[in-house]
Structure 1
Amino acid sequence: MPLANGIYRIKNVRTQNYVTLRSARNDLVASDHVNRKGEEWEVTSRQNDRYIIQNREFKTYAGSYHRPHHPTELYVKGTEGPYVWEMKAFDDSFTVSTTNVVKYWCFEDDQPNSQARASLLPSTPHIILLFLQVVLRAESPGNTYYMWIFDPVGFATDVHTSSGTRQSQALNDKLNREAIAEITMFLSEKLPRVPEATFMPEHACLPGTRAGLLKTINEWALGCDSLYLLTGPAGAGKSTIAHTVASHASEQGILGACFFLHRDFNERRDPHLVISSLAFQLAHFDLEIAKNIRNTLTRNPDLVSSQSLHNKFLNLIVKPVRDASDVKKTILLVIDDLDALDNQNATHSNRRQSFLECIANLESE
């Protein structure tokens, strides 16, 4: 079964270590679990088992490269442009390989017959795992050194439980993965979205700047008020603050969705795409919200093509979140540059007004 589009943590079957990116253009290495956001990868299908793998924290892509002093060895690092990988399913795991001269992902020190090295891994995670890099090798993937598990975010297995609990948890994880894969595939087909409209950590405020305002917004986000409207003249730094708030919320695990409008790109100023993009992100944020959105679209398949912004906003965002009984924590939505919705003609002005009314009605929903 092909892997559904989604956000995953990627774990090596042999070592049970997750892959992380420690900075935007660094090598992919085994995680020490310090920066868990660096472990999250957005996997997007192209066609015929071809995928793009993008780091959720740094927004760079997993790509291959040669080191100057190691011309025969291929490594995997964060790159600016997308790189296409081929992924083949084997039961619940996958191989990840290049598409031309086939070479497979593996950790550099996990070659076959390297049992002594492998046995050291559990006892010295903060010394050795930090330097285990993902490399590409041409060996046939006949064992678990070349197999990877794609764990949907939020459903990792606790390795410290008893054997019976582990088996039960493994079954639950498999069922959760299957449920998430099915729902994600369904929503990927039903909800048009604009991936480029997300937050960029590099666009956030410099450390120590705008501290007072950011503290106020953070206190509001953790409080009970539903709306915070940040206004100011052009060039005042509102978008920078929005990127900062979204970045911090993502680190805190409370960013349900965000959308950064842009007046130079039509798809980033269309309120219908704003709503469907927010809904898709909310579905990734919480499984119960995802199920609610899926159920809504199953009952009303014409909702996405509806011209009623209020109907879409209510049924794709407000109700799915409100009806998710297991969601008890704060869910933050960040929308930047609402003025970009106005295209200086009557049609777009009406759409802009309708969208603003949708947001204002959150107070009474």
Structure 2
Amino acid sequence: MKIKTRLFIGFSSIAIITLFMGIFTFYTYFDLVEISKYHSYIGLPATNTISEIRGKLFESESQALEYIISEDDAEKKEYLQTKSEMNLLITTYESIIDVKSQDENTFLANAEIDEMKQNNISDIKNSASEFYSLIDKMHALHELGQSPYEIEETMKLLDKQEHIFAESVNLAYQMEFNGILQKENKLDKITQNFMMYSTTFIGFLIASIFGIGFLISNSISKPLLALESSIKKTISEGLQEPLPLKGDEEIKRLTQSFNELEFSLKKLDILKDKEFQSVKNITDMKHALDSSSNVTITDTDGTIIYVNDKFCKISKYPEDELIGQNHRLLKSGYHTTSFYKKMWGDISNGFVWKGDVKNKAKDGSFYWVRTTIVPILGKNEKPHQYIAIR
């Protein structure tokens, strides 16, 4: 598998984990917002309103007797004000419950409880209406001076209706209070789950990052360390055996390149040994020639580029006076032009020439040498130097 493929899989896995965590966080945040909205716009306002209704009920109970038996306009006004405020609070509570029952959020929906609250609202409205009607009736009976029996019977009905009204209000308060507790418990549960899953996600994400990083680095570093070790051994101990092709494609190609390099170095070592042997053979041959013959080497124009000691001795020229001079320096004038033409024709065409040559030494004396001239061929198979052995 290629390194880039491993990296793609690794980072894709991390991205998927992060995406799931993001989706989970979004929905958790959405639920928290909805619960917060419930507390802000429904739960707390409804609970506060029903608490105020309870308070107004207690006020109405205390004001009812004063209103019934008193003809004071101030008492009547205070009672009517409390009655008006009670009706307004009941209407407000009913509107809050209506808003909640129309909420389309299934997370907060509870059809059974909503129906109970709607029914209880009706009970509160009816019992409140009946309660205040009986108070007004008692006030009218007292003003008309009705018999104590009729007033007493109406008073019993008022006490009963007051009890019904109080029970309806208390039931509403209990339902709202339980609703808040339920939502708070749900909020705590969501928070706990969020913390637990977030910790799990983060831990898994960190473990995935380190795990993927370890696997990728191990798949890269292990073969590279083996390659480094082999290179060090090659430097210190010489060429090693080829490394096995392991790891990712890029590492395999790198290892293969190193193996090919080692193979090339081995071939170079073999060529180097052969070249060394060839040079040694040539050196030995030169030593043998220098010991037994006088030797000169010229270029294709006949310019001397090498002489040995024996040649200097027989020609009586020092080496520095021969190097760079043309071989014509040694001509004795004995041989004809056709002689030299034949000799140059043979060697320039790559043939070995043999013959006796009369040369002239530096001191003017003459000497004969049996000469062999060997052409040295270049890459184009044409002579580029000549070796004369005498």
**What TM-score comes out, normalization by structure 2 length?**
0.18
Q: Which has the higher helix share?
A: 2
Q: Answer with 1 or 2: which has the greater Rg.
A: 2
Q: Which structure is higher in strand share? A: 1
TM norm structure 1: 0.19
